[in-house]
Amino acid sequence: MTTATQVLERCAHLDRYSSDPRVLTRVHLSPEHRFANDRTAMWMQQAGLTTWQDAAGNQWGRREGATAGLPALVLGSHLDTVPDAGSFDGMLGVVMAIAVAERLRHVALPFALEVVGFSDEEGTRFGKALLGSQAVAGLWDEDWWALRDRSGTTLLTAFEEFGLDPRRVGEAVRRPDELVGYLEAHIEQGPRLEAADEALGFVTSIAGARRFRIAVLGEARHAGGTPYPRRRDALVGAGEVVVAIERLARESRCLATVGRLEVQPGAVNVIPGRVDLSLDLRAETDAERDAMWETIHAELTSICEGRRLRAEVVETHVAASACCAPWLQDAVVAGIRATGHDAPSGLWSPAGHDAMAMAEVTDIGMLFLRCHDGISHHPDENVLEDDVAVGLDAFEQTVLAVARAEA
C-alpha cells in the first residue's frame, strides 16, 4: 500500500523534472513534462491502472468498475508548475490519487476509477491557464493555437514538437455521460486550515478569475533633456495604476495582483515609453470580480488621462467561478469524518484548479490539505507527512462514500 512517506518521495522525485536544475520549473509541452508524464504513467501502472496520454498531453490511468465500460469517477490534479515552484501544488493531488487507486485496487466499485495528471493548469508557458483540463472539458478555442511563449514558439508548434497532432485535440474531450464526477485533492495554498489547527477541509466553491495584459503607453525621451511638463512617463503612470489596483481590491472582497511588469525601452537614461503589466483578478463570485474590473478599468483610464498616457487592454484568461456539487461536498465531508474529525471546515478557494474546467462536464468536489504557513507558488511550499497520511485515508473514504451514493 502506498504510504504518505512514499507519496512525499514521489513528489520529491518529480522535482527532478525541471528546466532549471537549481529550482523547480516544469511547463506545458516541455521535455520535463514528457518525463513527468512517463514517470506518472509508471506509478499508475504499478497501481493496476491502464494508462494513456490524451491528445492534449494529459496523462491518464483507468481501472474498470464492477463491469467494463462504466462511467468513471476521475481523481486528479496537475503536473505543471509556476516558475521556481514548490513540490506540492498539483503534484500532491496526482500522486495521492494514484495512491488511492492502489489502495482500492481490489475493491469492486460501481464505476470505473480514473486518475489524471493534467498537462497545464498554471498557464506559465503560454499565459493561458487550464489548457489541459479545458481540452478535456471541450472548451478548446481555436484562437489558442496562435498563443506564443516567451521565445516566440506558438502553442501549435509546441504541440507538434511534443509529438501531439493539433488536429486531434478534440479527441481529449470527455462527455458528461462518461463521467460520474471529478475529485481533486490539493494543498490549501492559504493559511486558514493552519490557523484553525485542522489538517483537512472540504471546498465549497472555486473563485472566478480574469487575467489581463495592460499596456500603458507614453513616450520614450531623453532622461536629461526632457523637462517634467513635457514628459509622458509610462512607468510612473503604471506605478500609480499598480498602487490603485491594490487599494481598490483591499476595499473590496476581491484579490487583484500585478505579477509582471515589463518596461520599454528599459534603459537607465531613457524615460519609459511603454509598460506592459499583468493583472490577475479573483473573487468568490463572478459578479464581484466583474464589478472590480469595471472599477479598476475606470481608474486606469483616469490615471492615464491625467498623465497624457494611453492604455490598451487585452483579456488573456477568464474562468467562471465553480461550485462543488453538494453531494460531492457531502462525500468529502464523510471521507474526512471517517478519519475522526467530526466537523470539518468548508472553504472557498481563491486559487484556481482544474476542477473549475471539469465543472463544465461533470460534478466536482475538492479536498484541501493544510500547508505550512499558507505558502504556495514558492519553493518553501510544504505539507506535513501526518496530514498526507490522514488525507490519503480521507480521500480513499471519499471515493467509498461516492460508491455508496452511486450504488
Positions that interact with ligand GLV (CB under 6 A): 122, 351-352
CB neighbour list of residue 283: distance below 8 Å, 6 or more residues apart: 207, 208, 252, 253, 254, 255, 289, 292, 321
CB of 229 vs ligand GLV, minimal distance in Å: 42
Nearer residue to Mn ion within complex by CB, 203 or 275:
203
* Cβ distance to ligand GLV smaller for residue 43 or 118: 118
Closest of 252, 250, 276 to residue 262, by C-alpha: 276
DSSP 149-206: -TTS-BHHHHHHHHT--GGGGGGG---GGGEEEEEEEEE--SSHHHHTT-SEEEEEEE
Q: Contacting Mn ion (CB under 5 A), which of 32, 54, 80, 89?
A: 89
CB closer to ligand GLV, 114 vs 122: 122
Output 334 or 351, the one with its CB closest to ligand GLV: 351
Cα dihedral 32, 33, 36, 41 sign: negative
Q: Please, what is the Cα angle at 396 between 394 and 399, to 5 degrees?
A: 110
Find the residue with minimal CB distance to ligand GLV: 352
Considering beta carbons, is residue 122 or 284 the nearer one to ligand GLV? 122
**In the bound complex, what is the minimum distance in angstroms from residue 88's beta carbon to ligand GLV?**
12
Residue 396 binding target from ligand GLV, Mn ion, none, CB below 5 to 8 Å by type: none
Q: Take residue 352 and report the three cell numbers written for it.
A: 484556481
Phi, psi of 18 (to 5 degrees): -135, 145
Determine, following the binding rule CB under 5 A, whether residue 120 of this chain makes contact with Mn ion.
no
* Other beta carbons less than 10 A from residue 296's beta carbon: 23
In this chain, which of 90, 208, 272, 391 binds Mn ion, going by CB under 5 A?
90
For Mn ion, what does the binding mask look like between residues 346 and 385, x meaning CB under 5 A?
----------------------------------------
65 makes contact, choosing from ligand GLV, Mn ion, none, with CB < 5 to 8 Å by partner type, with none
CA separation for the pair 356, 134 (Å, rounded): 9
Smallest gap from Cβ 146 to ligand GLV, in A, equals: 22
Rounded alpha-carbon distances, angstroms, from residue 251 to 245, 247, 323: 10, 6, 25
Closer residue to Mn ion, CB minimum distance, 190 or 272: 190
Are the C-beta atoms of residues 37 and 108 closer than 8 Å to each other? no
Residue 132 binding result from ligand GLV, Mn ion, none, given CB thresholds of 5 to 8 Å by partner type: none
Shortest Cβ 210–Mn ion spacing (Å): 17
Q: Is residue 32 at the binding interface for Mn ion, with CB under 5 A as the rule?
A: no
**Which partner from the list ligand GLV, Mn ion, none does 54 bind, CB cut-off 5 to 8 Å by kind?**
none
Q: Please count the residues of this chain forming the interface with Mn ion, following the rule CB under 5 A.
A: 2
Nearby residues of 304 by Cβ (< 8 Å), 6 or more positions away? 216, 237, 241, 310, 311
- What angle separates helix 91-103 from helix 31-46, to the nearest 10 degrees? 20
Return the one option of ligand GLV, Mn ion, none that residue 352 interacts with (CB less than 5 to 8 A, by type).
ligand GLV
- Residues forming the site for Mn ion (CB under 5 A): 89-90
